[in-house]
Structure 1
């Protein structure tokens, strides 16, 4: 009997000691979901943030062509061929701007403590997104009554996006600080293009009273810088590290640039004659140069950033 009493007493003591522990375990377990929800809310995304980083871009190509009376005639002349570059037309080329850029972003999340996120941001960018296409080459000229000769010319067309500013609306979803998002906006892009062409090694010859009379081309160059309106769309992902975050963006920017025609730049300028003195004080060439590509410049960028939420 005594032995049974001792066993029951020990069992009761064990149960009594276990109840507080079980109660504590139940309370702690039930509080975990609430704690997680509070923690997510405490580190919510509402408010300002800044970010900065680097990107790489590839843009649509710009096709450029030049026509003059010497190296790149616009009409077929007997025995006269346009200069060739590596076996193809050296009077037409293209440039596809691309390369590195740096950017800074200032933004404000107007909602996003949990669930859907919306906000606005401003992005500024400095870039060296450039491309170049070569012009020129050589051509053999054979005209009856005139000793055959070789025409030569050289040059390049360059295009570059050097920076821009844009304002975006941003929409995403907060997954405990991980934020997949899309964004769209409008802005301006700084676009530069230039052309240099040296046709002094090319001649146009005719027979005058049975004697050859030859005129050479000259040098022409053009520079233009434009601020273009642009539209942008993109998507990305933010990865949280406390108040800091990493960010990966893919972005496309479309800027409109009217085709360029340099006829007014090239026409009525002085040329240099081979069989006499110069007809003017400045060497140039007569003809036209223009862009024959689509007017839209589409730049596609991949960007990596680091940021901080205040």
Structure 2
């Protein structure tokens, strides 16, 4: 740790930050993949759980709760069904983690150059987080869309392989097909990452207690920051998932009755009109269950991977 009260996020070379971010994303994704699949299935489900009449003429499963959904997927599709879409998701998380932490570090250092015009620390953290999230989302969005479409597949496969999905989307939907719902993603991720990093940087010093083992203060700060930020922007995450499965394959996923949505605001309006405000929060519980360990694992792994890389570099130099 450097002197003068500098933050750990300012330390490490660009290469070390990229590697640490990529490692953090890779490990985090594998750990939370089953919860991610469950979340996507619940987000795409439009019929009411409290109204059995709405289940009639539904050609597909009716999911009720996190554990029940997980059991249903394992029964109907095997345990590997909980890792559907994991290949594009792993690629996305590695690229996302590396891009996110690189952009965050670069933005933080640029803001630090303002000297006497520097912004308050919470504002700097918010801006750095927002820029990092926006950059990472734009770079990795096609992989995010592929992850959603594979996770939405039931026992009947829509795409035979990752390569086949890319070819089919390019052929039938063109380049815009890879960016369906991107506006919702950017509108979601900018405030989410801004709120996340602001909260994380504020909580992390207070949670760095000697009594906590193995640096779990980083993980605890990541959990709290993630839960607060995720709840605030969840409706946009749900809309993004609904928009990502639009197109010629919309009626072939595990939920055959996904309506046709067009645009973020129109989608929100339709969901409220047909499903009520609660419809915007389908899958929130499992999303929070997923977001908390994901952020904890990500931040813990990042901080410790960066520390190991810096120590290795010092050992090499000596």
TM-score (norm 2): 0.29
Instruction: Decide which structure has the larger Cα Rg and report it.
Output: 1
Decide which structure has greater helix share. Answer: 2
Decide which structure has greater strand share. Answer: 1
